[in-house]
Amino acid sequence: MGFDGLVLGRIDYEDIALRRSQKTMEVVWRPDINMGQSGELFTSVLYNLYVAPEGFCFDAFCNDDPILDNPKLHGYNVDAKVENFANHVQRYASAYKTNNIMMTMGGDFSYSVASSWFRNMDKLIKHVNKLKPELNVLYSTPDCYLSALQNTDNVTWPLKDTDDFFPYAHDEHSYWTGYFTSRSNLKYMICKANNLLQAVKQISSILGDGVNGSVQKLAIVVAQSQHHDSITGTEKQHVSDDYALYLDEGIDESQKVLTAAYRKWFGNDFPEQRYCKLLNISECDVSENNSKFVITLYNPLSHAVTTPVRIPVKYADYKVTGPNGSNVQYELVFLPGQIFRLGGRGSNATHELVFIASEVSPLGLVNYHVERIKELEAPPRPAVHNSTEDVMIDNGKLKIGFNGTSGLVQWIEKNGTRYPLQQNFFYYESMKGYNFNADNRASGAYIFRPTKNQPTVISEKINLTIYRGKNVHEVHQSFSSWLSQVVRIYDQQELIEFEWLVGPIPIMEWVGKEVIT
């Protein structure tokens, strides 16, 4: 990867205690055992996270005394400060193999008053080097530190090639595994924005410098959202909302790139491009409120793609025309019932118009024209399956079986071979607490801590609604008023979609729920 080394601030509290005692804070790590020596990375673990030693924080919010080196001052403290720092150095050194020790000076939100830091560090370096000749303190960087280690003779580094440094816990009840799923909606938005960015970068290459600003705006907000308190979901709600707003603005800006590209290819009368940004809640102003519209698909991959297209619409008779002018087979599929109960959804769509876009060429662009011929009275929703007979859907490549009594998936079949498969939804009850100590640790955005080891099943009986069409077969599972799922297979495709909708999660009596499947 081109890295000389990796420096870690956090590893598990039991792991770091053992490494300190065994002087294995620095190792040669082989994350992929199959790559062997070619994939190894020198890894160093910091002794004290990435913060300054106790007593040596020099920022506006710190309570540590500054270094007063004027002997005329009553608060003169050079000797005490030097001795304290030397003690920290000896403690750090006891955990490492060489005489080179990295002392981090800073921390979260530090250097708001940078002049105070550097003034005091200048004094610290001067007086430690004068009063402790056995120590040599200097400003340095991780790169210089690693270089010093490489130039140290007669040192053998332990090999770590059996695992990684996860999971991370800082005490017995504080495993940082909560953020793997925290704010999943923002994680989804960041993923989609990045997908769009890669496509827009490709398209912009034919347009010259005129659209670089629009591409750069999206690139910047996608990069910002990689922050360790953004994509992780560990930020507060108003901060998450702000990241989402920036992403939305970047996505809007990128529409200018697509419009410019399409007009270059198809002429200046090509309509302005608009995204359907709310497809995850089956809402799209363009397809719902226009009797004619064009769906433009761009394939950014290096191979042809056949993909289903799903657009929210009102129930009506439609005509879909493909890129070669021929009629395209489509169908209207009822939206899951829970969609209509989502707060904030402003859509009149009751169905999704579904068709298959076949063999979109690599780096290719195709247009599908959709026309609403006439509005029709919507048929009644499919009845809930109220029989105890098992249910099966079949697309010619795969079969999926559902238990008629429980409503759960119970098997899949491919090429005549049937495989048992069970899938359900559960929740862990979140531990309540005030975080004063380990025993009082609450489950939250960072930390996953359930009240008990076994999760609770959300529903013992799942209601099923079955749709069998030409392009797609779906089973809509309703687990509760706040959790549903669509199990979907498209005609002649060897994949199964599990599309779940969770929320708003009820938190009666202020007890959180960690939903799993």
Q: Which of 31-40, 243-252, 464-473 has the lowest mean pLDDT?
A: 31-40
* 279-381, CATH topology level: Immunoglobulin-like (2.60.40)
Letter for the amino acid at 41?
L
Q: Above 80 in pLDDT, residue 208?
A: no
* Nearest Cα residue to 192 out of 172, 166, 218: 218
Q: Cα separation of 479 and 464, whole Å?
A: 9
Whether omega before 450 lies within 30 degrees of 0, making that bond cis, reads: no
* 391-516, CATH topology level: Beta-galactosidase; Chain A, domain 5 (2.70.98)
Q: Cα separation of 214 and 314, whole Å?
A: 33
Q: Cα separation of 298 and 316, whole Å?
A: 27
Q: Above 80 in pLDDT, residue 264?
A: yes
User: What are 141-185's pLDDT values in tens digits?
Assistant: 999 999 999 999 999 999 998 889 999 999 999 999 999 989 999
Q: With H, G, I as helix, E, B as strand and everything else as coil, classify residue 70.
A: coil
Structure-token match 């720092």, residue found = 85
Residue 446, number of CB atoms within 10 A of its CB: 19
Q: Cα separation of 263 and 267, whole Å?
A: 5
User: What are 119-133's pLDDT values in tens digits?
Assistant: 999 999 999 999 999
Q: What is the pLDDT of residue 265?
A: 80
Helices (H), 272-382: 285-289
* Domain 5-161, classified CATH 3.40.190.10, yes or no: no
pLDDT band at 263 (very low <50, low <70, confident <90, very high): confident
- Do the beta carbons of residue 496 and residue 488 sit within 8 Å? yes
CA distances (Å), origin 456, targets 179, 419, 450, 464, 507: 21, 26, 11, 21, 15
DSSP state of 458: S
Q: Above 90 in pLDDT, residue 343?
A: no
Strand (E) or helix (H) holding 429 = strand 426-429
The segment(s) of the chain belonging to CATH 1.20.1270.50 are 167-275
The segment(s) of the chain belonging to CATH 2.70.98.30 are 391-516
pLDDT band at 382 (very low <50, low <70, confident <90, very high): confident
Q: With H, G, I as helix, E, B as strand and everything else as coil, classify residue 472.
A: strand
Strand (E) or helix (H) holding 297 = strand 292-298
Q: Given phi > 0 = left and psi -120 to 50 = alpha, else beta, which region is 144?
A: alpha
**Between β-strands 513-516 and 426-429, what pairing exists: parallel, antiparallel or unpaired?**
antiparallel
* Nearest Cα residue to 291 out of 225, 219, 194, 370: 370
Whether omega before 504 lies within 30 degrees of 0, making that bond cis, reads: yes
pLDDT band at 508 (very low <50, low <70, confident <90, very high): confident
* Nearest Cα residue to 392 out of 333, 466, 337, 459: 466
Name 171's Cβ contacts closer than 8 Å, sequence gap at least 6: 13, 438, 441
Q: What is the pLDDT of residue 381?
A: 79
Query: For residues 91 and 364, which has the higher predicted lDDT (pLDDT)?
Result: 91
CA distances (Å), origin 321, targets 58, 293, 371, 477: 69, 11, 9, 33
* 167-275, CATH topology level: Substrate Binding Domain Of Dnak; Chain:A; Domain 2 (1.20.1270)
How many residues appear in the chain? Answer: 517
Name the token pair of 267: 């002429």
Mean pLDDT of 275-304: 92
Q: What is the pLDDT of residue 131?
A: 98
pTM, entire model? 0.86
Q: Cα separation of 320 and 111, whole Å?
A: 60
- CA dihedral (303, 308, 311, 312) in degrees, to 10, reads -150
DSSP state of 94: T
The segment(s) of the chain belonging to CATH 2.60.40.1180 are 279-381
pLDDT band at 1 (very low <50, low <70, confident <90, very high): low
Q: Above 90 in pLDDT, residue 479?
A: yes
Q: What is the pLDDT of residue 379?
A: 81
Q: Above 80 in pLDDT, residue 210?
A: no
The segment(s) of the chain belonging to CATH 3.20.110.10 are 5-161
Q: Above 80 in pLDDT, residue 198?
A: yes
Sign of CA dihedral 18, 24, 28, 34: negative
